Each structure stands twice: as C-alpha cells, then as structure tokens.
Amino acid sequence: MHRMLENLDQVLIESPLEAVQTLVEALEKQHTIRLVREPEVCLTMLRAEDSLDAQEFYLGEALTTSCEVSVDETAGFGMCLGEEPVRAYCVAVFDALREMQAIDEALLEALVQMSTRMEERDQREFAQTLRTQVDFKLLEQE
C-alpha cells in the first residue's frame, strides 16, 4: 500500500474543496456512483482518553456531515467536520475506491501533489508561529 493512502482522509479533508471535487467529477465519468444515503448534518460525540488513567471519556459534541455511496457496487462512507455535504460525498467516493483498490497511478499522483501542497502550507504556518515565540534568555540579559 502506498504511503499516500495512509493519510488519504486527511488530504481530502484539508485540501481545497475545488481540487477534491474536480478529482471526483472525473471519477464520476469512469465509475457508476450511486448515493446510498444523502449527506446529512448531525452532532457526533468526540471520544478522548485520559492520559493518566487511560480511561475513555466523551469530550463533547462536534457538528459533522456524513454520506454513504456505492461505487461500482462497493460501499463507501465519508464524514467530515462542519456542514460540508460535497466534501463528505467526495470522501465517501474515495473510501469506496480505496476499498476496491482502484486508485490508479494518475489519481495517486494528483493526491500526492495535494498532500505536498498541504505539507508546505503546514510548514509555512509553523514558521510563522516560530516567529512569534519569545526568547526569555534574551529578555533576562536586558
């Protein structure tokens, strides 16, 4: 399995919607995609684990959108934070493709490019955050 497929959901959720939607529109011409369950907005309980006791607890609720599709008779499920019906649909389509092992080299390359742009964005944001840090050693010398 290609490393890209390990973080596929993160790439689909954090990439610009237009880029993800363009990929899925091309896939709609190649595959038979049927909506099993329309995208719907709901509240989902968020689970967390206490780091000291390793006890599971519910952190609270989050607004999510979920969707179910069938791609060439293979089920796919998509869920994302917020009210994003198109993104949930796109994630569901890719979930089915991953299950079918039908992600070809061209599609994989497009996803790798999206992942690279996402990583570059994260690095820029991290660099901006580092610029705001205070060096307390310098303050003590003054």
Residue 120: what residue type? E
Cα distance between the two ends of the chain: 55
Chain centroid offset of residue 53 CA = 30
Q: Tell me the C-alpha to C-alpha distance, in Å, between residue 35 and each of 62, 77, 88, 92, 124.
A: 24, 10, 12, 10, 38
Please give the pLDDT value at position 122.
85
Mean pLDDT by 10 residues, the chain (142 residues): 74 94 95 97 93 90 97 97 97 95 89 90 86 69 60
Q: How many CB atoms lie within 10 A of CB 20?
A: 24
Please give the pLDDT value at position 138.
61
How is residue 59 written in tokens?
Answer: 């952190």
Please give the pLDDT value at position 89.
98
Please give the pLDDT value at position 27.
95
Please give the pLDDT value at position 3.
65
Please give the pLDDT value at position 139.
58
Give the pTM: 0.81
Residue 54: what residue type? A
